[in-house]
Structure 1
Amino acid sequence: MTKKYNKFLSAAADFSLENSPYYWITQVHSQYIQNVDHALKKYGLDYSRRRILLALKSKNKASVSDLSEMVISKMSTTTKIIYRLKDEGLVDTYCCEYDGRITRVLLTDKGQQMIEKINDLSHIVLEQSFEGLTPLQIEKMLENLKHIFKNLAH
């Protein structure tokens, strides 16, 4: 790696966490989860269940393995969350008609209603997090994060 990145490397003699983009990415993500979790307590939910519900909103009738990939979670963890959501009446499951080994998950009407409530709370946290930033700054941040992801993914 060239010297132009030394400031950001943990091996540098003058390294500071303040200069680590990944430190800030994890700090922002962790704080976001805490804020969302706090807001979701109102509905008896947590961030993990929220992620599954929102994944189902974008791909209803997804398989458990699809959901596991979408939320970046182990299959066993995803399965536990799905059955917790099923017990709460927010999702339902069924065996795939083409392959009995595949379990599909779908939102119930109660799950759809919960997503609307979740979105209302999440929008408040999102607006709070972007306060003081312009839409252009947010778009540029997204471009940069996507670029870094692509660099890491290959």
Structure 2
Amino acid sequence: MDVFQSGNPGDTAFRVDRYPFYLLNRLVSRYNSIIDARLRAIGLDIPSWRVLMILGEESPRGAREIAQAAVINLSTMTRIIQRMTAAGLVTATPSREDARVTLVALAPAGEAQLAEARLATAPIYAHLIAGLKAEEFEQLIALLGRLHDNLEPLAP
């Protein structure tokens, strides 16, 4: 039997434990439930943590760019940014080049919260990748990228 058929939902040989999207969803769900508890203990939720982590890479960034990186729709991201602004974690200002673009930057309180979030989540990540060889990790990242790229032509 073709190894791919057992993961094909259109095939009678389909098995859920061979379906990559089930396995990915199961992994992300478990990971999120673990880090959610750690983040809530320091006053953060997962969407706010995503924003802090993205801004930790580069700040300021446009709200649309943050939404895309966080895989959250723009209207939801706008509400998240408004909450984070009210909490003093980020600042949001119109871009000088294009007033339609809202630039979001880490505020000092956001930088402190990001540092705390990194400490809270780093041990989970270390546990998650324990036992993986560097080349296995690189292969995993490459394969996930290829799967994503394969879907790109089908995206709306």
Q: Please, what TM-score do these two structures have when normalized by structure 2?
A: 0.89
Amino acid in structure 2 at the alignment position of 1:84: R
How many residues get paired? 153
Q: Distance in 2 between matches of 1:114 and 1:73?
A: 21
Q: Deviations over 1:75-118 (max 9, x none)?
A: 11001101111111110111222322222111011111111111
SS at the partner of 2:116?
Answer: helix
Q: Distance in 2 between matches of 1:64 and 1:150?
A: 24
Q: Distance in 2 between matches of 1:39 and 1:103?
A: 30
- Gaps in structure 1 of 5+ consecutive residues: none
Distance 1:11 1:121, change over 3 A: same
Deviation at 1:150, TM superposition (A): 2.0
% identity of equivalent residues: 22
Deviation at 1:42, TM superposition (A): 1.5
SS at the partner of 2:4?
Answer: helix
RMSD over aligned Cα, in angstroms? Answer: 1.7
Q: Are the aligned partners of 2:55 and 2:106 in contact in 1 as well (CA < 8 Å)?
A: yes
Q: Please, what TM-score do these two structures have when normalized by structure 1?
A: 0.90
Deviation at 1:125, TM superposition (A): 1.0
Aligned to 1:38: 37
Deviation at 1:4, TM superposition (A): 4.8
Asked if 1:76 is matched to 2:75, the reply is yes
Aligned to 1:126: 125
Q: Distance in 2 between matches of 1:63 and 1:39?
A: 28
